[in-house]
Structure 1
């Protein structure tokens, strides 16, 4: 993959995120909500696959997520991670090269989402029904590039501070 070109890419690339109605992702390198059912869905979808993330997203995890290969993007040539199933790269291009031929999931943060949008086949977005203060935001979804194909509402309850909706977007087929 000399040039990063989705037309020639083998494998699927899915962006997976949870963002509030004002596109808030997090603040101070942490989520601004706790949604256990969304965590379980994230685990189910990404288990056994390669997950691509920025350094700050990786560092926000309490530990590497089990049964997934972590591809961590950083500009720092000195950054080292000493965990099995963790690979450090210095560009999105290199991360996607390592994932080619497999299903890969882009898990954040905001800048990595922005860079990867043009290469993704699908977006799995949990839309949290609140307007929250944040310092990191999910990019606006351009409805000309994406088609909403599935929508599942989850109400607020004793385990979930906010109602939310699972949204699945795919690129429209061009005939």
Structure 2
């Protein structure tokens, strides 16, 4: 199984503020995320699940929480550790981990790929993507984009693959 992290962060690694994205809607990022994760199962933390910016997959989803008897919508399973979440996912070719900060931190050592959108700006934040050793990965895709009438910020899509 390929374990892929997928996130958008600003130039200071910010990924969230008050359980929402810290920047205005960036449609190109959402379109890219939906394209890349289509048909794949997803793992997310409880706060990401509760976010108004939540994504989910029709293929299946697992929410990681320490809260016993946590209730979710139909199509979501619950696990109390990343290891149990990965077991619940089953035998798949690729799983996407959507965050948040703590889930990214504990899953980063297992990551085979990292799909990052870099939003070219700095924003008020209380959640950050963890630092990682870039030399452990190779960049297999790097696409720069300029702000336009629908996307208010310059942004870059980068895909890292573990060496």
Superposition TM-score, scaled by structure 1 size: 0.87
8 Å Cα contact 1:35/1:161 also seen in 2:
yes
Q: Say if 2:9 is the partner of 1:19.
A: yes
8 Å Cα contact 2:20/2:51 also seen in 1:
yes
Give the drift of 1:23: 0.2
Aligned to 2:161: 170
Give the drift of 1:108: 0.7
Q: What is the aligned residue count?
A: 161
In structure 1, distance between residues paired with 2:2 and 2:55: 22
Give the drift of 1:158: 1.2
Which of 107-116 and 142-151 deviates more? 142-151
Q: Say if 2:100 is the partner of 1:109.
A: yes
Q: Say if 2:94 is the partner of 1:88.
A: no
Name stretches of at least 5 consecutive residues in structure 1 with no aligned partner.
1-10
Give the drift of 1:100: 4.0
Aligned counterpart in structure 2 of residue 118 of structure 1, from 109, 112, 126:
109
> Residues 112, 62 of structure 1: CA spacing in aligned structure 2 closer, same or farther, 3 A cutoff?
closer
Superposition TM-score, scaled by structure 2 size: 0.93
Aligned counterpart in structure 1 of residue 138 of structure 2, from 142, 147, 158:
147
> Residues 111, 62 of structure 1: CA spacing in aligned structure 2 closer, same or farther, 3 A cutoff?
closer
Runs of 4+, deviation exceeding 4 Å: none
In structure 2, distance between residues paired with 1:113 and 1:135: 14
8 Å Cα contact 2:4/2:111 also seen in 1:
yes
Name stretches of at least 5 consecutive residues in structure 2 with no aligned partner.
none
Q: Highest Rg: 1 or 2?
A: 1
Give the drift of 1:66: 5.0
Give the CA RMSD over aligned residues.
1.5
Task: Spell out, residue by residue over 1:53-111, the C-alpha distance to the aligned partner (whole angstroms, 9 max, x if none).
Answer: 00000011467635241100000113111x22100110001011122421110001011
